Amino acid sequence: MHWLLILASFLIGSLPFGFWIGLLYGKDVRKIGSGNTGATNVIRALGWGPGLFVFFLDVAKGAVASAGALWWQNQPGQAPFLGMQPSDFALLCGVVAVVGHMLSPFLGFKGGKGVATGLGAMLGVAPVVGGIGFGGFLVVLALTRYVSLGSVIGAWAAFATAIATGQSPLLLGVFGLLCAYIIYRHVPNMKRLREGTEPKLGQKTQPSTPDEPEEEVAKT
């Protein structure tokens, strides 16, 4: 059953809600703006309503995977998976959901940065850590309107909170890697921030053009 939960977590995480909702509006969001199917680009392409809905769904993917695994592992008589604590197994399933989001088979095993799904995974297994990380993201977003900067600061805030609250070594290791990955994926954004070309939330973007770098257009 544990392996089925892990597989289910991957499949849940791989659901490309931003892409599908864009198709409902007659648009392929991969060909608009940054080409990302996440909430930020959906907001720019389709408006706040569809974008916030995508954000909620992407967060829910990670939360369902980790919280569902934690609930199952805490049921009476359930044996631990490879000797893991219930919270560690829940975290594993949450991380697998993030991997599914980044390598979605529905999008040719391409995917996004996994920030919203990673937030959901943290909320499901460590609500305080996820909540403070999300709070840091919202504060920076409200002050600057830069989603990228908010994502990086929120990741750091979550990792610092995990250390301060004495989370398990496995959880600390995973949160540290997730924080490093989020920063790595946002290096181009940080470069644009320094150059003053990073778009703010709500700023209109133009459809992608053939002159744009392939790696930027292909982000999902």
- Per-residue model confidence as pLDDT tens digits over 67-122: 999 999 999 988 888 888 888 899 899 999 999 998 999 999 987 778 899 889 98
- Per-residue model confidence as pLDDT tens digits over 20-53: 999 999 999 988 877 888 888 898 889 989 999 9
Structure-model confidence comparison of residues 216 and 40, the more confident one: 40
Mean pLDDT for the stretch of residues 136-144: 93
Q: Is pLDDT above 50 for 213?
A: no
Give percent of the chain with pLDDT exceeding 90: 47
| Cβ proximity of 62 and 120 under 8 Å | yes
Question: How far is the CA of 2 from the CAs of 62, 69, 114, 125, 174, in angstroms?
Answer: 17, 9, 23, 17, 19
| Per-residue model confidence (pLDDT) at position 204 | 54
Residues 6 or more apart whose CB falls under 8 angstroms from that of 200 comprise 144, 145, 146
Distance CA 1, CA 70 (A): 13
Which letter does DSSP use for residue 107 in this model? G
Joined together, the tokens standing for residue 199 give 């778009």
| Per-residue model confidence (pLDDT) at position 203 | 62
Distance CA 35, CA 180 (A): 23
Count the alpha carbons within 13 Å of 3 in the hemisphere toward its beta carbon: 0
- Per-residue model confidence as pLDDT tens digits over 72-83: 999 998 888 888
| Cβ proximity of 153 and 161 under 8 Å | no
For 74-206, where are the alpha helices, taking DSSP H only? 86-102, 115-125, 127-144, 147-164, 169-185, 187-195
| Per-residue model confidence (pLDDT) at position 39 | 86
Q: How many CB atoms lie within 10 A of CB 184?
A: 9
Count the alpha carbons within 13 Å of 125 in the hemisphere toward its beta carbon: 32
- The residue range of the domain holding 6 is 2-217
Number of domains in the chain: 1
Structure-model confidence comparison of residues 13 and 220, the more confident one: 13
Q: Residue 208 region, left (φ>0) first, then alpha (ψ -120 to 50), else beta?
A: beta
Joined together, the tokens standing for residue 148 give 């990228």
How many residues are recorded in the chain? 220
| DSSP per-residue codes, 57-68 | HHHHHHHHHHHH
Mean pLDDT for the stretch of residues 146-150: 90
Of residues 123, 202, 196, 108, the one with CA closest to residue 162: 123
